[in-house]
Amino acid sequence: MSDDPTEPAGLVASARQRLAPTIARVTRSAHGATVELTDQAGHIVWPEYAHGPNRLLALLAAEQRYLVEQTGADSTAGATYVDKARTREQGWVHQHLRARGSGPDATGGGLGWSMTSNLLARCRTCGEYLSLDPNDTASCLCGDLNKDMDAGRFGSRLGDGAIDIYQTRPGP
């Protein structure tokens, strides 16, 4: 089962670009998430290439390993690939996202949640991000954060106050 991360969209796209020409497939595993690399035809060229506590960090850990081993490029600071992945995530978030606080008020739409595609919600348990795009349904790796737009529901098992909201910065 492929279970690729989708958010933050720009960071995910950037990681996939750096992994080219291989394609990363991310699946849930005992580690949280595991990445295998395939060729363009879908054949596995590196099984279990990287692991991470969530799908985004597993993908970024694969990117960091690929940079070191395949391209010889400088990777980000950190003792392990997951440490490097966290540094990469934090750098991206600092540059491309703006923290707005937590809960429905942080979405700024008056009463309740304002569901718009320029907002992201982050799960405090597993650390994954979901877009607040009202046109799709999604949940984080651990399942605490759920967006079911068919049923008109969005929330966290930990309560609304445990949902951290980020806004994507306009620009390139």
For residues 38 and 22, the answer to whether their CB atoms sit within 8 Å is yes
Q: In whole angstroms, how close is the CB of 32 to Zn ion at the nearest point?
A: 10
Q: Please name the residue that has the structure tokens 């595993």.
A: 29
Whichever of 36 and 144 has its CB closer to Zn ion, that residue is: 144
Residue 3 contacts residue 27 (beta carbons within 8 Å): yes
If binding is defined by CB under 5 A, does position 140 make contact with Zn ion?
yes
Task: Please tell me the count of residues contacting Zn ion according to CB under 5 A.
Answer: 6
Residue 56 or 61: which CB sits closer to Zn ion? 56
Restricted to residues 106-135, the positions that interact with Zn ion (CB under 5 A) are 123, 125-126
Q: How far is the CB of 102 from Zn ion (least distance, A)?
A: 14
**What is the nearest approach in angstroms of Zn ion to the Cβ of residue 124?**
8
> Smaller CB distance to Zn ion: residue 36 or 164?
164
| Beta carbon of residue 145, minimum distance to Zn ion (angstroms, whole number) | 5
Report the residue number, 115 or 140, with the smaller CB distance to Zn ion.
140
Least Cβ distance, residue 20 to Zn ion (angstroms): 28
Beta bridge partners of 98: 167
Nearer to Zn ion, 23 or 149 (CB): 149
Q: Would you give the distance in Å from CA 10 to the centre of its chain?
A: 10
Q: Which residues bind Zn ion (CB under 5 A)?
A: 123, 125-126, 140, 142, 144
